[in-house]
C-alpha cells in the first residue's frame, strides 16, 4: 500500500525556522513530504540490529530499515512491542539518532524498562522485526545566531532527544553546554557520546546525581540554576526529562527570560492525533494533542501550570 501522501497537518506557530530546516533535510534526502512542513509519516518495517544494556534499568535498541527515515532531534516514533494483543498499543519513543548506514536507515532508541511493553522490547533477539510509525511530531529548534550558544538539559531517560540534538549540533559546529542528571551514577547514560559531542564544540558538560555518586549532588536543574545565578545565559535552552524536572526548568527559564523548549511525555495511544489521549493545555486555552503540536513545546506556549 502506498503510504505517502497528501495529508492535512497543522502548521506550528512561530516555527518557520524549523520548518525551513525540515524542508531542506527532506529535499536533501529526496523524501516525500506533505507540503505542510512535515515529512510524510510512514509505518516502517524495522528489524533489531543490536540491543545493548546501558544501566541496571536502561538499554539501547538499534533498529534498521530498508525504508528511508529522516527525522530531527525531538521527533519520535510509535513502535510495536511484538505481535498479539498484550501489550495492545505501540509505545512512543523519541529518537536518540537517525542516520543512513549504507542503503539502510539506522534508528537508535534509549529505553527504560518500566512495564510489559519495554520489558518485551528488552528481550528482543537480533533480527526480530517490528513496525515503527515515524517520523512524528515536531522537534527542537536548533538554529541560533552566529556567536550564540544553546543549553541542553536531560534528566534520566529523557536523554534520547537531547543526545540526538547534541550530536547534530556538534556536526553543525553550533556551540552548546550539556546538563545531564540522573538518580545515581549508574543511571547516567551514554556518557562518552555526550562528552564527545560537547567537547567537539568546546561546551561545558555538567553532570548531577541525586545521591552525589557522580558530578554535582542534587537535581540537574539546581546545577543549571547555579550557572544562571552567576550570570550565564544562552540563546535557548532545550530540555527533556520527568515532569518535575521540566516544571523546574520552565520556571527557571521563565524567571531568567531564556527562551525554552521542552519535550513532554504524555500517555499516547495512536501518536497520530486521533485518540486525543496525549493532550496538553496551552497558554491560549487550546487543548492540543502533544503528538501533533509537540512533543517539543516552547515553554511560553504552555499553560501557566508548567512554570507558575
Partner 1 sequence: MSVTCAVRVGALSLVNPVLAASGTFGYGLELAEFCPPEQLGALVTKGLSPKPRLGNPTPRIVETAAGMINAIGLQNIGVEAFCRDVLPALAGRGATIVVNVFGETMLQYLEVLERCEQEHDIAAYELNVSCPNVTAGGMEFGHDPVQLERLTTACRSRTRRPLWVKLSPNAPDLVGAARAAVAGGADALTLINTLRAMAVDADARRPVLATGCGGLSGPAIKPVALRMVWEVHRALPETPLVGIGGVESGRDVAEFLLVGASAVQVGTAIFRDPTAPLRILREFQEFCAEHGIHDATELIGGLQWR
Name the minimum Å distance from CB 44 to partner 1: 13
Nearest approach in angstroms of CB 280 to partner 1 is 8
Return the number of the residue (173 or 305) whose C-beta is nearest partner 1: 305
- Supply the minimum distance, in Å, between the C-beta of residue 122 and partner 1: 18
CB of 301 to partner 1, least distance (A): 17
Quote the least distance from Cβ 137 to partner 1, whole Å: 14
Is residue 24 within 8 Å of residue 10, measured between CB atoms? Answer: no
Q: Which is nearer to partner 1, 6 or 192 (CB)?
A: 6
With respect to partner 1, which residue has the nearer C-beta, 229 or 274?
274
Shortest separation between residue 61's beta carbon and partner 1, angstroms:
19
Residue at grid coordinates 518485551: 120
Which pairs from 79-88 meet CB under 8 Å and 24+ separation? 79/46, 79/109, 79/121, 79/130, 79/131, 79/132, 79/133, 80/130, 80/131, 80/132, 81/116, 81/117, 81/118, 81/120, 81/121, 81/130, 82/120, 82/124, 82/130, 86/116, 87/115, 87/116, 87/117, 87/120
Q: How many CA atoms lie within 13 A of 130 on its CB side?
A: 26
Helix or strand or coil: residue 64? strand
Give 172 or 286: the residue with its C-beta nearer to partner 1.
286
Beta strands in 156-276 (DSSP E): 176-182, 205-209, 216-217, 236-240, 260-263
For partner 1, the closer CB: 12 or 149: 12
Between 89 and 195, whose beta carbon lies closer to partner 1? 89
Binding residues vs partner 1 (CB under 8 A): 1, 3-8, 34, 40-41, 43, 80, 85-90, 131, 133, 266-270, 272-279, 287
Amino acid at each position: 500500500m502506498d503510504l505517502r501522501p497528501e495529508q492535512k497537518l497543522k502548521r506550528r506557530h512561530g516555527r518557520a525556522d524549523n520548518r525551513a530546516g525540515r524542508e531542506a533535510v527532506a529535499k536533501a534526502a529526496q523524501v516525500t513530504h506533505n507540503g505542510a512542513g512535515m515529512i510524510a509519516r510512514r509505518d516502517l518495517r524495522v528489524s533489531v540490529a543490536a540491543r545493548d544494556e546501558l544501566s541496571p534499568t536502561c538499554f539501547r535498541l538499534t533498529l534498521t530499515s530498508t525504508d528511508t527515515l529522516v527525522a530531527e532531534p525531538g521527533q519520535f516514533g510509535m513502535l510495536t512491542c511484538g505481535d498479539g494483543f498484550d501489550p495492545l498499543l505501540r509505545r512512543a519513543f523519541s529518537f536518540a539518532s537517525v542516520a543512513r548506514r549504507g542503503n539502510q536507515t539506522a534508528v537508535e532508541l534509549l529505553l527504560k524498562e518500566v512495564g510489559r511493553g519495554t520489558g518485551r522490547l528488552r528481550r528482543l533477539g537480533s533480527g526480530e522485526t517490528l513496525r515503527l510509525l515515524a517520523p512524528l511530531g515536531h522537534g527542537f529548534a536548533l538554529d541560533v545566531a552566529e556567536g550564540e550558544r544553546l543549553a541542553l538539559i536531560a534528566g534520566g531517560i529523557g536523554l534520547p532527544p537531547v543526545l540526538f540534538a547534541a550530536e547534530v549540533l556538534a556536526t553543525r559546529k553550533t556551540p552548546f553546554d550539556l546538563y545531564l542528571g540522573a538518580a545515581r551514577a549508574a543511571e547516567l547514560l551514554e556518557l562518552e557520546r555526550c562528552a564527545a559531542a560537547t567537547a567537539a564544540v568546546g561546551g561545558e558538560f555538567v553532570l548531577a546525581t541525586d545521591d552525589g555518586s557522580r558530578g554535582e549532588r542534587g537535581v540537574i536543574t539546581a546545577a543549571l540554576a547555579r550557572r544562571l545565578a552567576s550570570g550565564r545565559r544562552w540563546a535557548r535552552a532545550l530540555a527533556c526529562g520527568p515532569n518535575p524536572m521540566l516544571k523546574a526548568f520552565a520556571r527557571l527559564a521563565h524567571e531568567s527570560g531564556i527562551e525554552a523548549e521542552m519535550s513532554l511525555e504524555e500517555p499516547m495511544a495512536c501518536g497520530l492525533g486521533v485518540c486525543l489521549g496525549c493532550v496538553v493545555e496551552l497558554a491560549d486555552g487550546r487543548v492540543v494533542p502533544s503528538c501533533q503540536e509537540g512533543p517539543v513545546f516552547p515553554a511560553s506556549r504552555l499553560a501557566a501550570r508548567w512554570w507558575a
